[in-house]
Structure 1
Amino acid sequence: MANTAVPRLLSISDAPRIASYSLQEPSRPDIEIGQAEHRIDLVNRWGIPLGSRVLEIGCGQGNATAVLAEAVGDGGSVDAVDPAPPDYGAPFTLAQAQAHLSASPVGKRINWHEAAPETFIRQSSGKTWDVAVLAHCIWYFASPQVLVDILKSLRNRVQRVCIAEYALQATERAAEPHVLAALATGMLESHKVESSVNIRSPLEPAAIVEAARAAGWAQQEPLAMVTGEKEKGKEIVVPRAGLLDGCWEAGTVAGDDFANEIEDHITDDRVKVVLRSARNATIAAVRGLQGEQVRTMDVWVAAFA
């Protein structure tokens, strides 16, 4: 089942071309270029060979899908799965973004599936993949148990599982507000019965490793980004300045809507105090940058077999 070919390494210079496969705001093409650069860094760490059959879980609008489809080449394929409805997302919906990507030069390599990952895997009886990818989707899950259940369902269906998620640490000082904002958002959402935001289960890397072990997966040595050789200390990617997620998420927590949600959804005064303090700490951290743009926190990259 495994594809043992030499991994294909993409060039950062390819980012503008790959970004053009995705829907873009005409006035801000840099946004999609930053997203593509980051996904190139992730895919290079995983070392996915040409011709691979990839199962991408939590594909969303396809930021990672485009890079994966580029990496696998004409002989490969990407089954991109997400449970969100077609009208989910902004400024473009999933339906709009996925249709645009399907019409791109790599579109024929992509198969979109609107389904819960476990359901899709179960209903794809007998089908196997070379690798499953979970790129910045774990924090969307309603609970940590969802990750364990998905990883269990992948046993005997894929050879490797590749994961990238925020590390809850900041190599760059300008990324510290993002760490605070993520924790504040996670705390608020944990007190809601239902949530549709992108931070619901902010698991730290050690918790993800434990979930993988519980599901029967063992962590591999990470791959060096350039040589493809095994090398220690390569689990952390420091996002490039063009990745704006940290700026957006810190801005959300600092906004009035977040403050109003604390008052609307939280009844315990002690929890309100903690959340107000978390929001104020985020605001103070942004102010401490003295006008410098908030960066995105470090990203943890791992593979399991």
Structure 2
Amino acid sequence: MGSTSVPLSVAPQIAAYSPLAGANSLKIETVQVKHRLNLINEWKISSNNRILELGCGQGTCTAPLAYAVGPTGHVDAVDPGPPDYGSPITLAQAQEFMSATEIGPRISWHRATPIEFLQGKPETTWDTAVLAHCIWYFESEDTLKELLEVLKGRVQKICIAECALKASNPLAIPHLLATIARGSLECCKTNSTENIRTLISPSGIKDIARSTGWDIEDETVLVPEDLFDGNWETGTVVSQEFSDEINRIENRRLQTVLKSSREATKLATEGIGGVKNVATMDVWCASLTLNAEST
């Protein structure tokens, strides 16, 4: 993929656009921003671009995108989450804070599902649609398929990032196991509020993309440094709360599988000295373009 266009040295500046970047959290936010800048540079996002960001959440990727497109670009940031969703900072608080910064005029926030938003603006087009670590939030694979269908003719390119289900760093193996455990538990629920609801692999995403007329223009796998996602997600799976959730499942065979999955995660975590040492697994990064037959 292309060369770096946004220097990683600006990460602390962009991190400060988030209310989460307090005195004790600036380092964490800076690491998150660096990862998003690496994605943006791989996707070749450039100035002047009009971006449709789907699943923006608290703006972790929105701020780097707004910085990258510059004062003549714009980001439509879409998320269905209610204003009071999130802790310790809610979506509304994060978005309001970011809107008051120098990049605020480059961002328009929209509360809607991606499909609702696109159907409500049938004539609007963008240069690029971005789905950064949001596909696992979808209710099912059908949601992704429908979204890719609706995006036809609306964007020139779709940029995706999701965990790769691969652990190049041995310290990320617990994260990989925890992800499978969490995804297995959440698929049993009618309504889930967790960040892994549909555990779909990069190969699965590519299959859906091709079936809806999108070609994989470019793809790569990044090995993130210092991200805390693996630490956080593993911590929830080895917790007593997760065990209690398993015990409430009526299907005994499924309960047994989930207990074993949690145990595997716990043993792998203990084997590297505890949750504090868990790294984040690899991240798959890709760009999609509509094939000639679908245009």
* TM interval, short-chain normalised: over 0.9
Does residue 1 of structure 2 align to residue 16 of structure 1?
no
> What's 1:290 paired with?
273
Residue 36 (structure 2) aligned to one of 34, 39, 53: 39
Q: Report Cα offsets for 1:159-195 as digits up to 9, x if no partner.
A: 0000000000101011110000010000000111110
Aligned 8 A contact 2:4 2:42 in 1: no
> What's 1:253 paired with?
237
Aligned 8 A contact 2:62 2:75 in 1: yes
Q: 1:221 aligns to what SS in structure 2?
A: strand
- Aligned 1:234-245 pairs, distance under 5 A: 235-241=220-226, 243-245=227-229
Residue 59 (structure 1) aligned to one of 56, 73, 81: 56
Structure 2 gaps, min length 5: 290-295
> What's 1:280 paired with?
263
Q: 1:79 aligns to what SS in structure 2?
A: strand
Q: Report Cα offsets for 1:6-61 as digits up to 9, x if no partner.
A: 98711111110000001124322111111101101100100012100000000000
1:7 and 1:146 map into 2 onto residues whose CA distance is: 33
- Aligned partner letter, 1:163: I
Deviation at 1:125, TM superposition (A): 2.1
Aligned 8 A contact 2:3 2:42 in 1: no
2:76 and 2:176 map into 1 onto residues whose CA distance is: 31
> What's 2:209 paired with?
212
Deviation at 1:290, TM superposition (A): 2.2
Residue 116 (structure 1) aligned to one of 109, 113, 118: 113
- Aligned partner letter, 2:233: E
Structure 1 gaps, min length 5: 1-5, 223-234
- Aligned partner letter, 2:15: A
- Aligned identity (percent) is 48
RMSD: 1.2
Deviation at 1:303, TM superposition (A): 0.4
Count of aligned pairs: 286
Residue 185 (structure 2) aligned to one of 183, 188, 193: 188
Aligned 8 A contact 2:182 2:237 in 1: yes
TM-score normalised per structure 2: 0.95
Residue 128 (structure 1) aligned to one of 125, 128, 133: 125
Which range moved further: 21-30 or 184-193?
A: 21-30
Q: Report Cα offsets for 1:194-217 as digits up to 9, x if no partner.
A: 101000111100000011112211
Aligned 8 A contact 2:54 2:78 in 1: yes
2:4 and 2:271 map into 1 onto residues whose CA distance is: 41
Q: Report Cα offsets for 1:100-147 as digits up to 9, x if no partner.
A: 111111110000000010111111121100000000000000111100
